[in-house]
Structure 1
């Protein structure tokens, strides 16, 4: 079984998550050439408060602009 698991910041709409799953599935299938009945692609929601980038805890969805202005400079 070929498994691809990724973590994403919680709060994205289901339609966006499913688009991501479909795109990851297609990329994974193309790269591994694994039979589709032997593939598993998983996205796990992680709360923003449980992730750090640029040495700072990530903002909640929708609060990125002020966070980026401070931390991505």
Structure 2
């Protein structure tokens, strides 16, 4: 297990877990729709197309943002 932070909250996840796996579990625990969020890892936006190949590392800081349409 490794420690990561999601929106400043500490979370234990399996070493080598993909971002997709971590976000799916987090969304179930927190009633969040993955289709409606954007994610930054260590202050860098993580494109949705890379979530399944991105592995979480110890002490990663994930920030989840609600996607809002507008102009």
Structure 1 length-normalised TM? 0.28
Query: Relative contact order: is structure 1 or structure 2 higher (C-alpha 8 Å, sep ≥ 6)?
Result: 2
More helix by share: 1
Question: Which is higher, the Rg of structure 1 or of structure 2?
Answer: 1
More strand by share: 2
Structure 2 length-normalised TM? 0.28
